[in-house]
Amino acid sequence: MKAYITAVAHYVPPDVYDNHWFSTFLDTSDEWIRERTGIRERRFLREGATSDMIVPAAREVLAQRAMQPSDIDCIIVCTVTPDQFFPSTAANVQRKLGATNAWGFDLNAACSGFVYGLWVAAKLIEAGGARNVLLCGADKMSSIINFEDRTTCVLFGDGAGVVLLEPGDDEAYGVQDAIIRMDGEGGQYLYMPAGGSLRPPSYETVANKEHYVFQDGQTVFKAAVVGMAEVSAEIMERNGLSAETVAWLVPHQANLRIIDATARRMGLSKDKVMVNIDRYGNTTAATIPICLSELYQAGKLHRGDNIILASFGAGYTWGSLWLRWAIERTQV
């Protein structure tokens, strides 16, 4: 048995902020942001929480399969911006959807959340621990970015992507293999200093702006270029995949230069690489499922396509996952 993605959808907030908007209050420019990152615009959620972006995408996923919320038996929410520390955002999604038969949990692997989550969900299904898993990658990054810090605030956006996973009998389809890594030594280069048990919220932490993303961009950049390219090349090698037999690279969208380096290492031409960072920026755990959803909506995913997902993020966490697409859009 393998786990198949049988439906996919996404939600992005309607409010668009282009690069010029930042230059009205920060020393930055459209040119700098575009050239260094590939980002042109991003979307920010004005009101509501991470779960409010997940719910519309989840409803669409259920509609694609003509399923009821009560058909879901597990909800996994990959996020670094949960609605609250507890209860889990998964519990909030369960309540808002009315998915009365579902258990679930949040998973924090930052930008690698969706790759981690997909591997966990696939193994859960293969082991018989769940049948219909709703896997969500979602982040409201605008809730944790410091709009006075030009080195981070221009990079991120808000959004959600949701897939439904179901068991499938033909082992040649669905989630096939993954190489998943973590290196806690990288934690110091991309993190939120306060708010947790290490530094609980206080007047001081708020005054010092410690409840926002801190990133040593250059250090993370170097680690990401090496890490994401390495695991992506390795997963191709150990599964006998070639540039010809891979249909799509669906990479985490943090920086176009990191994506290009990964594609080069895999020998893939640009037309096989999904890129939407120009429109959404880095939506952390949401980038990969939003990419999958847009590819699917555009009719660009076909049964049997070899797809490589690749990510790198805080932790450090990184990984690459190979799946063979199991459905045709005409079936839904």
Cα 14 to its chain centre, rounded Å, is 19
325 binding ligand UT7? (CB under 6 A):
no
Q: Which of 36, 40, 65, 211 binds ligand UT7 (CB under 6 A)?
A: 36
Residue with tokens 């030009």: 150
Stretch that binds ligand UT7, among 120-128, 149-157, 172-180, 201-209 (CB under 6 A): 149-157
User: Binding segment for ligand UT7 among 148-156, 194-202, 232-240, 259-267 (CB under 6 A)?
Assistant: 148-156
For ligand UT7, which is the closer residue by CB, 150 or 211?
A: 150
Long-range pairs for 221-224: beta carbons < 8 A, 24 or more residues apart:
221/255, 221/257, 221/258, 223/186, 223/189, 223/312, 223/316, 224/254, 224/255, 224/258, 224/312, 224/318
CB of 5 to ligand UT7, least distance (A): 23
Backbone angles phi, psi at 204, to 5 degrees: -65, -45
- Respond yes or no on whether the N-terminal peptide bond of residue 296 is cis (omega within 30° of 0): no
Examine residue 112 and tell whether it contacts ligand UT7 (CB under 6 A): no
Annotated active-site residue in 111, 136, 153, 291: 111
The amino acid occupying position 217 is G
Q: How far apart are CB 235 and ligand UT7 at their closest, in Å?
A: 19
Q: Which of 34, 40, 65, 150 is close enough to bind ligand UT7 by CB under 6 A?
A: 150
Q: Catalytic residue at 74? A: no
Question: Which of 32, 131 has the CB closer to ligand UT7?
Answer: 32
Choose, by CB under 6 A, the member of 282, 293, 317, 320 that binds ligand UT7.
282
183 φ/ψ angles, rounded to the nearest 5 degrees: -140, 100
- Active-site residue flag, 255: no
Using the rule CB under 6 A, give the single segment among 90-98, 157-165, 205-213, 251-259 that binds ligand UT7. Answer: 251-259
Cα separation, 290 vs 4, whole angstroms: 17
Comparing every residue's Cβ against ligand UT7, the nearest one is 217
How far, in Å, CA of 248 to CA of 185, rounded?
Answer: 31
The rounded distance, in Å, linking the Cα atoms of 162 and 52 is 12
Site for ligand UT7 in 173-212 (CB under 6 A): none
Count of alpha carbons within 13 angstroms of residue 21, beta-carbon side: 13
314 by DSSP, 3-state: which? Answer: coil
Q: Which of 175, 220, 235, 266 is in the footprint of ligand UT7 by CB under 6 A? A: 220
Our CB check for ligand UT7 shows the closer of 168 and 281 to be 281
Active-site residue, 302 included:
no
Q: Residues with Cβ < 8 Å from 11, sequence gap 6 or more?
A: 53, 54, 56, 57, 159, 160
Q: Give residues in contact with ligand UT7 (CB under 6 A).
A: 28, 32-33, 36-37, 111, 150-151, 154-155, 217-218, 220-221, 224, 254-255, 258, 282, 312-313
